[in-house]
Structure 1
Amino acid sequence: MEMRILMSGGDGIVSEGLRLVLKDTWPKCRLIEFEGIGKEGGLTVRQDIDLAILETGMGGSATLEEAVRSVSERAKVVVLAPYERESIETERLRNAGASRVIFRDTSLEEIRAVLLSIFALGTAII
């Protein structure tokens, strides 16, 4: 199965590590990178995707929530966040439709397990 994954384009160590995890988990995946979200939360995806990986730094929280809502109707959504695990922002992202919110202290092995569980079970259990 060729996974089609939309992810925010970043050149930081987290983004680079995430790319390696994605390619290792799904060697034939196709990464589609983008730079950010529009002011209204518009994230126009012209291709079918299986997974979207969004970062909190791409816009205000309301903008990110709207992007999660629009994409979660047709793909799994993972958000990379610096928030506290039990914060209002984290809860809003989950309510908007994020399959999982991953935090900065999550190891690459845990990220791999989260990604696999999302597709195996429908929602992450870790």
Structure 2
Amino acid sequence: MSTFKINIVAGPLWSNDEAQKLGGRIAAAHLGKFTGQWSTIVEGEMSVIEVEYDTQPTGSTEYTMDVLAGPLWSIEDAKEVCPAICASYGGTWNGQWTTVVEGKMSVCGCVFKF
């Protein structure tokens, strides 16, 4: 199975010790593995950590969660947008969506395997 790596925002990290301490937890929250690499992207304000993923999510445990998707206007709009939104988090769309703030924000139902 092949893998890929991406950077995920981690808030400000003040030292390598802090990054090594928190990186694994942040990566796990995104269903990935911390590579040990990190960098500051805005001095004193924001850092990123490098997270590695398998190309195909595996595991026997499933968890469903709604993720923010911006405004969705119809089921047709959700069918276009939600699969990509869920994939961006490492999940798959379960066909569900709802508007949480009229005209401003909707969520997509995403299934995660781990």
Q: TM-score range by the shorter chain?
A: under 0.3
Q: Could you tell me the TM-score, scaled by structure 2's length? A: 0.25
Q: Which has the larger radius of gyration?
A: 2
More helix by share: 1
Larger RCO, structures 1/2 (Cα 8 Å, 6+ apart): 2
More strand by share: 2
Q: Could you tell me the TM-score, scaled by structure 1's length? A: 0.24
